[in-house]
A and B are shown apart, each in its own frame.
Chain A
Amino acid sequence: MGCGNSALNSKKSEKVLKAALVIQNWYRGYRARLRARLQYAVAIFESIEYADEQSQMQLSDFFSFMLENYTQIHKDDPELSNQLLENAKDRQEYLGLIEVPDSYDGPRLHFPFNFTDIALLIDAFKHQKTLHAYYVLEVLFETKKLLKQRPNFTHLKTSASKGLTICGDLHGKLDDLLLIFYKNGLPSENNPYLFNGDFVDRGRYSMEVLMILLVSFLVYPKDIHLNRGNHEDFMMNMRYGFTKEILNKYKIHGKKILQTLEELYTWIPIGSIIDNEILVIHGGISESTDLNLLHRIERHKMKSVLLPPLAGSSIEPEKKKAGAIILSGGVPSKDSSSDQLSKHEWEQIIDILWSDPRGTKGCFPNTGRGGGCYFGPDISTSILNKYHLKKIIRSHECKPEGYEICHDGKVITVFSASNYYEEGSNRGAYIRLAYGMDLEFFQHQVTTSTCYQPLHQRVNVMESSAIRILKERIIARKTDLTHAFQVRDHSKSGKLSVTQWAFSMESILGLNLPWRTLSMHLVKVDKDGYADYMTSFQDIRIEKPVKEAESAIIETLYRYRTDLQIIFNIIDSDRSGQISMEEFRKMWKLFSSHYNVQIHDSQIDELANTMDLNKDGSIDFNEFLKAFYVVHKYEKDNISNTKHSRYQ
């Protein structure tokens, strides 16, 4: 009957309701915990990335210190680098010396380039071909020639019929560039593009990405526009992978390519202004950004973020000449002040290439990166008003959705490299704009699978990758960490509370990470909440190239290996890959005093002697530094160097 049935039904439906609630409640909790884990993984990636950039400041200070105090290395060869520079200028002569063999099966370009060359390149790169050094150099020379004629800022106009596509950081991710071309069309007179810097470094196909962009620029110079990013910098390339990629792919002509690239970067325009309304730059601005000054300065004098102008360089040219190391590409000329920008000018460019927007008002030094500043919404408003502009489009920061709008719609970040930290970490995006119309955002994500991975799988991949990288940092400080643990372990039990363990970790590593939450991945914690602290090091070790060397030295050399590589490359002005024992000792003395590294000179001597395998008094420093790599206990192949090339 009606009554009885409805009572039964309502009881049944209440049960269903309760059951649904239970499942929904549980799922939401589960999903939230996954998303939190994802966020922790991202925090690890970001913190390590910024810590790396921060240490650049230290390196930069060291170079200045070096230049001011170090005596000439090549006393007997003052003309050497002069000669090198002269050679660099003679394009025809150099290209004439390179032959492209018949056996070469890569793309053959025909200068002057047209759209078929672009298609040829893309097709070849899709089939994993490498462009021959001859063509690479040809492209670089021609691009440099053309860029030299361009002003510091590109002024563009758009219309309803001819819009513009703006791409952010690509970082050598060829798949993302090809995906964008697939979705948005190849570059042409009717399909203009603006690439907002950071074309190279971190990804494995920086050369291919760069070649496509530069050839497109040469074919459509009025419609393809390039802005310089902070990675269009030969020293950044040494640290973040592009230099290595070039030397691997171009064993004979790599060094020549690097030299040409170094100069080319300095000619890439600083930024663009669209329709007199939108400022497009790679990083950001500061409260003192002076667009008029930036339009006037000699931008090609900005060589690298790691080579700031020396204090008082224009005042005492004589002193500088006597004390100069001959740096690649930089010659101490008679009037050395003409070589460099003023400090103020240099800082103006650094601000443009390195700054980040933040929600807090005002302008603060960008301590995360060690260069540029954090600028607030009030700064954006005042600078935009000052120059009668409406918006800033910038890149430089990875965003989960590929783009982000902040400062009340005035500042937009666009980042085009998807999966930047790890597969599944973020989407990439690009912007289409046309005068009088709203901005349009398009997102993408490169994936090897055909369907979207479920959340827990993506999280697992990201989390294990982040933990892996973090463990490499931990093992590099084993000696210091062990000491910090033991100081707190009064009873010598080998255990500390999780709080004390976390405190020790932060005090040594300084990454500002949620150590307590991460502890379950990094150390064995018993049911009473005590951490067996030595288990922090159990799954990983640094491979000792020399059995007798002390752990502390090994760790230090492993930690600073990237910096050392850069320094050695600078000293090695003839790019032979070798430096003398004398140079090595001098270098090390300066390095250890400046970086406050507690290793005795005699220990370094011993190590260097052992590394001088052929006993001829010179060290192949690449081999020396390659010898320090990290071994993960449960891995089949120990090549952490190549796998984490983006962090080197």
Chain B
Amino acid sequence: MSRIRWNCEDALSETERVGMISVEGSDWEMSGKQEQGEQLIMGSDRAHLNKVKVAEFHKRIKEAFEVFDHESNNTVDVREIGTIVRSLGCCPSEGELHDLLAEVEEEEPTGYIRYEKFLPVMTKVLLEERYRPIPDDVLLQAFETLDSAKRGFLTKDELVKYMTEEGEPFSQEEMEEMLSAAVDPESNLIHYKDYVTTMVVDDN
């Protein structure tokens, strides 16, 4: 499976970029990557803010994990990891998720992921702001790209073809779910502009 790395840094607004805090000197290994135009905060203030941020992340990660921990024994089914990571606001591709799983699985995979392994890895993901979500306009552009004839809609068959044959194909369940909300039952078409607008509102 080919992996295509794309970035949407150009989509980030100036204000967002300026607000980033450097995470050098933290307890975890960082890649040392520095974003352009970030502000550097001096010494102990930086360390303190870092601690506060990490504490925040820990609480959020704990809650997201626990709600899927059906046995209350600090483990979740490996198949729920994708949902947990995404519920924390990240948008990894399937390939990226696969790599992440490799970091949190046991030496001998048991089908379960332990919280102790998940927490540091996920904290790092949040600190690095990895797997950033796709901005709405980029999403809309993607639909427009698929609609080569610029009709303002896609037919159900077209969408199914693209989603199940290109990129990281949908499973049947994923496809059916998407169709159930996206297809206008009268015309059997997907008016993607309306669709994107409604979905975005609902997601927030």
Contact = CB atoms under 8 A, between A and B. Distances in A.
B181 A43 contact: no
Contacts of A39: 67-68, 83
B146 interface: yes
Interface string A22-51: 111111111111011001100100000000
A20 B91 contact: no
Contact of B138 (A22, A27, A36): A22
Contacts of B83: 32, 35-36, 39
Contact of B177 (A15, A18, A22, A454): A454
A24 B67 contact: no
Nearest to B198: A456
B103 to A, nearest CB: 19
A360 interface: yes
Interface residues of A, number: 38
A358 interface: yes
B142 A454 contact: no
B163 interface: yes
A19 B143 contact: yes
Interface in A491-529: 499, 514-517
Contacts of B28: none
Contact of B86 (A15, A32, A455): A32
Given A22-B138, A24-B168, A33-B87, A514 B66 contact: yes
Contacts of B60: 516-517
Interface string A359-385: 110000000000000000000000000
Contact of A358 (B71, B93, B170): B71
B91 A21 contact: no
Interface string A59-90: 00000000000000000000000000000000
Interface string B141-154: 11101100000000
Contacts of A454: 177, 180-181
Given A20-B163, A514-B67, A36 B177 contact: no
Contact of B167 (A24, A43, A359, A514): A24
Given A16-B166, A31-B177, A25 B64 contact: no
Interface string B110-143: 0000000000000000000000011000110111
B82 A32 contact: yes
Contacts of B92: 25
A28 B174 contact: yes
B194 interface: no
A336 B168 CA distance: 72
A39 B67 CA distance: 7
B71 A21 contact: no
Interface in B51-84: 59-60, 63-64, 66-68, 71, 73, 82-84
A456 B181 CA distance: 8
Nearest to B183: A454
Q: Is the interface of B mostly helix, strand, loop or mixed?
A: helix
Nearest to B177: A455
B203 interface: yes
A514 B87 CA distance: 13
Nearest to A23: B142
A17 interface: yes
Interface string A565-597: 000000000000000000000000000000000
A634 interface: no
B177 A499 contact: no
Contact of B139 (A17, A26, A33, A516): A26
A29 B87 CA distance: 7
Nearest to A359: B71
A29 B181 contact: no
A182 interface: no
A453 B167 CA distance: 28
B170 A36 contact: no
B202 interface: yes
Contacts of B73: 359-360
Contacts of B71: 358-360
B202 A20 contact: no
A515 B62 CA distance: 11
B86 A33 contact: yes
Contacts of A23: 139, 142-143, 146, 162-163
Contacts of B177: 31, 454-455
Contacts of A31: 174, 177-178
Given A33-B86, A456-B181, A25 B93 contact: yes
Given A18-B6, A21-B168, A359-B71, A30 B180 contact: no
Given A25-B134, A27-B174, A452-B180, A18 B93 contact: no
A466 to B, nearest CB: 12
Nearest to B83: A32
B94 interface: yes
Contacts of B202: 456
B67 A36 contact: yes
B167 A21 contact: yes
Contacts of B168: 21, 24-25
A24 B163 contact: yes
Given A21-B4, A454-B180, A516 B67 contact: no
A18 B92 CA distance: 14
Contacts of B82: 28, 32
Given A16-B146, A360-B71, A514-B66, A22 B134 contact: yes
Contacts of A43: 67
A22 B86 contact: no
Given A18-B6, A36-B83, 15 more contacts: A16-B162, A19-B141, A21-B4, A24-B169, A25-B93, A25-B134, A32-B83, A32-B85, A36-B64, A36-B86, A360-B71, A456-B199, A514-B63, A515-B63, A516-B60
26 contacts: A18-B145, A19-B146, A20-B142, A21-B93, A21-B166, A21-B168, A22-B138, A22-B139, A23-B139, A23-B143, A25-B91, A26-B91, A27-B178, A28-B91, A28-B174, A29-B134, A33-B87, A36-B64, A36-B84, A39-B67, A39-B83, A359-B71, A360-B73, A455-B177, A455-B180, A517-B60
CB-CB nearest 9 A-B residue pairs: A32-B86, A36-B87, A514-B63, A20-B167, A20-B166, A454-B181, A19-B145, A22-B142, A19-B142
Interface of B: 4, 6, 59-60, 63-64, 66-68, 71, 73, 82-87, 90-94, 133-134, 138-139, 141-143, 145-146, 162-163, 166-170, 174, 177-178, 180-181, 199, 202-203
Interface of A: 15-33, 35-36, 39-40, 43, 358-360, 452-457, 499, 514-517
